[in-house]
Structure formats: structure tokens, C-alpha cells
Amino acid sequence: MPIAVVVLLRRFDQLLQPDFAGLAPLMLIYATWLLSLIAQPMRSELKHADILKAVPIAGWKMMLAYTAAGSALLTVVVLTFAGAMWAILPEARSDDLLACACAAPFLGFACVAANILASLFYPATGDAAQTYVCGMISFGLSMVALMPTLLLGLILGAILDVKWYYVVGVDGAVNVGVGAAGVELSGSVFRA
């Protein structure tokens, strides 16, 4: 699907004005955030929480495994999207594309960890009300996880004109910290 989106963008040349081509890499950040919301990680597995809790593994380790799996899948899709942009849209080839592609896995880790927390509070997939509330809370928590990336990217990259690889390094470290806090909190909620 990411490749199809880029092919369609190439097909409709009027979308590839210089202003749009410069903003195209930001679609990677949006796709990372959106995919983390769509995944609704581990809600179906929580039907069997009584079995999972009996396993002698720390709660945070179980949540880390779920977060890592969701982040890995999300990363593959986003990097495929970035590769398609690089190959099919030469107008989008820039340091911004590299920065967004490198930052996406870290952002994905933070957003997936935030969404797991919402899934723990509202695990019933068959209950429409819980699904709706879980979606709303996931949205809010993932926005909280997304804010440091956006603010640091804006301040360091756009205002202070720091090189993209330093911005990605700082953003990555912050997102790993946010994700680790989410994993730890999720582990505590899971065990409780």
C-alpha cells in the first residue's frame, strides 16, 4: 500500500509542486503515528490475561515484547514508504526524507507503547463502547508521545538549524525514553 500511494502521487503530477514535494517526507511521521493507532496492539491477547499473568516473566518484559513487535511491523511499512518515495519521487529526495525515515522507528516505539497502555485499560474487543473509549484514549496518549518529536524537530531543525542527524539522535533518545516509560507503566498496569 505505501508503494501504491507513492505511485499515485507520481501519477498525479499536479500534486508534486515544489511546496508539496518538500512536505512529502512529513507523511512518514504521520504514517507512523496513524499506523500505531490502527494496530490497537494486544487487545485480543488480553482475553487470556489470566494465562499470561501465570507466566513467570516480568510484566514490563511482556509489554516490551508487544511494543517491539508492533514497532517492528510499523517500521517495515514506514521504511517501505520512504524507499518508495526515494525511488519514485525524486522531488522528495532530501535530508528531510532521511531524517523522517530515521526518526520513524523511534517514534513508532513511543506511540505503540502509549497505545498498549490504552489497550490494557479497555481490552474487550467485542464491546463497542470499550473499543470507542480505547480509541479515544489511544489517540490522546499517542499525541502526548508524538509531541516531543514534533517540538524537538521544530525547535532544533527549523528554528536552530541543527543538522538533521543530531535532531534525529536527540529525538530518538527522547522517544526511547518515552517508550520505555510507557512500557514500564504498561507492565505495572498489566500485573495489577
pLDDT tens column, 36-51: 888 665 666 665 666 7
Q: Is the pLDDT of residue 13 over 80?
A: no
Residue 56, pLDDT score: 84
Instruction: Yes or no: say if 109 and 32 are a contact pair by the CB < 8 Å rule.
Output: no
3-state secondary structure the chain: CHHHHHHHHHHCHHHCCHHHHHHCCHHHHHHHHHHHHHHCCCCCHHHHHHHHHHCCCCHHHHHHHHHHHHHHHHHHHHHHHHHHHHHHCHHHCCHHHHHHHHHHHHHHHHHHHHHHHHHHHCCCCCCHHHHHHHHHHHHHHHHHHHHHHHHHHHHHHHHCCCCHHHHHHHHHHHHHHHHHHHHHHHHHHHHC
| pLDDT per position as a tens digit, 88-113 | 888 888 898 999 999 999 999 999 99
Residue with cell 491477547: 45
Q: What is the mean pLDDT of the chain?
A: 86
Residue 121, pLDDT score: 85
